[in-house]
């Protein structure tokens, strides 16, 4: 097999994307999702997480209006990227949100059409979410997405496709040949995030329920603890 060109990223490295700075294979990512109040956004800012997530799915207990998301996002320093979550969105819905608040990343669930089209429309990174129960649920093709959020498959009676505080078998992940950078999500907490990173080999983590006291009620102290422990676990695995 011919040697890779020196500037060619190794498999699993982030693809070039003009929307965000280029990231290396050893780059780590910490995302706190479902932010819906000032104190939790301030905890994300103080802890310097990499990504702050806002949910634009009305049935969610974490939903925010585009206008309130803009107010909250204005509290974030430069360098903390803003992620918007959408479920089966229309182009018009995403466009309306983006008129009110700048988003660096669109995290899409059940979106119609290829990731390339959403990226071309909105100039944001596109992440797709994947529910996992068994090894063969793990995607072998990113279908053009910039990154994959790998979380537990929701139960049949779930009212939302993610953010259900559910874990899956993390040991499925070391044997998986990931087609794109990915984040471990679902059921993570400050107490288990280090174990999740070690068991899965993840270089990115994403949490919502595990830093709450009740669905939709974020706890700034748990946000701070999650960021600290995830960062320490990534550093220990360098």
Q: Residue 118 Cβ, how far from ligand LARABZUK at the closest point, in Å?
A: 16
Q: Residue 107 Cβ, how far from ligand LARABZUK at the closest point, in Å?
A: 6
Beta bridge partners of 126: 106
Query: What is the DSSP-derived secondary structure letter of residue 60?
Result: S
| Nearest residue (CB) to ligand LARABZUK, 109 versus 118 | 109
Burial class of 186 by CB neighbour count within 10 A (0 to 12, 13 to 18, 19+): buried
| Nearest residue (CB) to ligand LARABZUK, 122 versus 196 | 196
Which residue's beta carbon is nearest to the bound ligand LARABZUK? 163
Q: Residue 95 Cβ, how far from ligand LARABZUK at the closest point, in Å?
A: 19
Residues 6+ apart with CB under 8 A from 28: 50, 203, 204, 230, 231, 234
Residues in the chain: 238
Cβ neighbours, 10 Å, residue 174: 10
| Nearest residue (CB) to ligand LARABZUK, 186 versus 190 | 186
Whole-number Å distance between alpha carbons of 163 and 72: 20
| Nearest residue (CB) to ligand LARABZUK, 9 versus 228 | 228
Whole-number Å distance between alpha carbons of 226 and 229: 5
| Nearest residue (CB) to ligand LARABZUK, 160 versus 229 | 160
**Contact assessment for residue 149 and residue 130, using Cβ atoms and an 8 Å cutoff:** yes
State how beta strands 147-152 and 182-185 pair. Answer: parallel
**Contact assessment for residue 52 and residue 81, using Cβ atoms and an 8 Å cutoff:** yes
Q: Residue 41 Cβ, how far from ligand LARABZUK at the closest point, in Å?
A: 15
Q: Residue 206 Cβ, how far from ligand LARABZUK at the closest point, in Å?
A: 5
Q: Residue 7 Cβ, how far from ligand LARABZUK at the closest point, in Å?
A: 32
Residues that bind ligand LARABZUK (CB under 6 A): 33-34, 53, 55, 57, 60, 62, 85, 87, 109, 149, 151, 160-165, 185-188, 206-210
């Amino acid at each position: 097999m011919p040697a890779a060109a020196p500037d060619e990223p190794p498999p699993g490295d982030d693809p070039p994307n003009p929307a965000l700075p280029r990231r290396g294979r050893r780059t780590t990512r910490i995302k706190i999702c479902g932010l819906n109040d000032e104190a939790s956004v301030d905890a994300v800012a103080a802890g310097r997480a990499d990504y702050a997530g806002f949910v634009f799915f009305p049935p969610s207990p974490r939903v925010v209006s585009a206008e309130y998301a803009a107010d909250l996002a204005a509290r974030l320093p430069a360098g903390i990227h803003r992620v918007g979550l959408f479920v089966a969105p229309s182009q018009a819905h995403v466009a309306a949100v983006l008129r009110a608040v700048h988003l660096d990343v669109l995290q899409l669930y059940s979106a119609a059409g290829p990731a390339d089209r959403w990226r071309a429309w909105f100039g944001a990174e596109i992440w797709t979410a994947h529910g996992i129960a068994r090894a063969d649920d793990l995607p072998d093709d990113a279908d053009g997405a910039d990154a994959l959020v790998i979380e537990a498959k929701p139960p049949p009676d779930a009212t939302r496709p993610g953010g259900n505080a559910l874990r899956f078998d993390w040991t499925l992940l070391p044997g998986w040949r990931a087609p794109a950078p990915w984040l471990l999500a679902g059921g993570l907490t400050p107490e288990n995030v280090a174990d999740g990173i070690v068991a899965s080999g993840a270089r990115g983590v994403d949490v919502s329920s595990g830093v709450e006291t009740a669905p939709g009620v974020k706890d700034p102290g748990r946000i701070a603890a999650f960021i600290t422990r995830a960062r320490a676990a990534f550093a220990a695995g360098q």
